[in-house]
Amino acid sequence: MKSINQSLKPITTKLNSSGNIEIGGCDLVDLAEKYNTPLYVIDEATVRGICQDYKKAFEKYHNVNMMYASKALCTKAIAKILHSEGFGFDTVSAGEIYTVYKAGVDMTKVLFNGNNKSYEELSLAIELGVGRISVDNFFELSLLNEIAKSYNKTVDILLRITPGIECHTHEYIQTGHLDSKFGFDLTQIDEAVELILNDYKNLKLHGLHAHIGSQIFETSIYGDEVEILTKEISRLDKKFGLKLNEINIGGGLGVKYNESDKPPATYEIADIIINKLNECIKKYSIDAPTLILEPGRSVISTSGVTLYTVGSSKQVPNGKKYIAVDGGMADNARPSMYGAEYVAEVANNTDHELIEKVTIAGRFCESGDILIKDITLPKLNEGDIICVYNTGAYNYSMASNYNRVQKPAMVLVNNSQSDIIINRETLDDIIAHDVIPDRL
């Protein structure tokens, strides 16, 4: 069965009677005119549809907690939508914790993850009642116990481990192999458990957590991860009499950024994970644990597009033709950072044949500020609106004010209605935190 993460475009994308592209019943040209560009657009129907894909795919297992990986895109409106769909939240900073808290999320459904959490962040997590903290290293174990003791509380934790699995993704987004900054090595788990059982009385260990990477297309790798985690739970039970009842296998399911991408369906990985988990429960004689997943990119990426307005152009003699737009690497760092590839269409010129190969360049003062290389589009004119697909994940969350350019607005579209969910930054926002010392 297909799932929405296998789609290149939001599920409501279509051409309207004006010949323009519309999403969520909203004409993209009208959105660009109303809200200006660059503009992030999120299709609510696609977000909710993907959430429902996940819930249906995993409903065959008795106890599953879906926790959205907030780093992909974290806003109060997005948190409210996902919470209404029954998702919890995997957070990695005080900012993400505070965002979901202010969105009215049940904080017992929030997990705090990360490799160098600060004293202030861990304190905030305890104060706001975060349900689980995934402890990454020995330093954090000691620090967290100290903080929990000062609050006279027992904190519920998972241990994050590196399972030694290397998936075939970009080296920057591999997290499960042994040479990684994240988690306890398998050889360190016993020492950590002994500390928790004997010394750190304000910590209660519930299970193990691993994350094997991002933009994953391999399916068998999830089965390998389940095998390692359940085997380890069985071993810890036999050695320490420790009954762990949760395994968090992270997220990482890939999405379709271009036509050559063939991500597996949510339903396909669910079958692999559930079948392997049921097999391992019998094989290692353990109680069926709660299964926790942390999808992020695969929940939000397909839901989003970014709109740009065409500006200048440059024809290199006997070379490329560059088309410049009013955004670029500050609102989408992935092409320059990862070499990520995207698909785009002209939102207002859809009835013309694809007749020109161009490179879409950004407006920022870097030669590497290229959004899409060698894409075939209709002949472009100044003022045309370009729609870049599958930009819901990591585009806004990695955005910057490089060249002191304001970050774009974001709108949510649904049933022909559009609503601002992030205001466009102003010039005063840019200088809001600047301070000139009196001595100057």
Q: Catalytic residue, from 26, 280, 365, 387: name it.
A: 365
Residues 175 and 213: beta-carbon distance below 8 Å: yes
DSSP 408: P
Check if 365 is active-site: yes
Q: Token digits for 273? A: 């994970």
Residues 24 and 11: beta-carbon distance below 8 Å: no
Q: Token digits for 7? A: 């789609």
Q: Is 182 helix (H, G, I), strand (E, B) or coil?
A: coil
The burial class, CB within 10 Å (0-12 / 13-18 / 19+), for 136 is buried
Q: How many CB atoms lie within 10 A of CB 287?
A: 10
The burial class, CB within 10 Å (0-12 / 13-18 / 19+), for 223 is middle
Q: Is 191 helix (H, G, I), strand (E, B) or coil?
A: helix
Residues 32 and 45: beta-carbon distance below 8 Å: no
Q: Token digits for 12? A: 């409501």
Measured CA to CA, the distance from residue 411 to residue 41 in angstroms comes to 5
Measured CA to CA, the distance from residue 96 to residue 103 in angstroms comes to 11
Measured CA to CA, the distance from residue 395 to residue 133 in angstroms comes to 26
Measured CA to CA, the distance from residue 112 to residue 101 in angstroms comes to 13
Measured CA to CA, the distance from residue 147 to residue 125 in angstroms comes to 11
The burial class, CB within 10 Å (0-12 / 13-18 / 19+), for 190 is middle
- Which positions are catalytic? 365
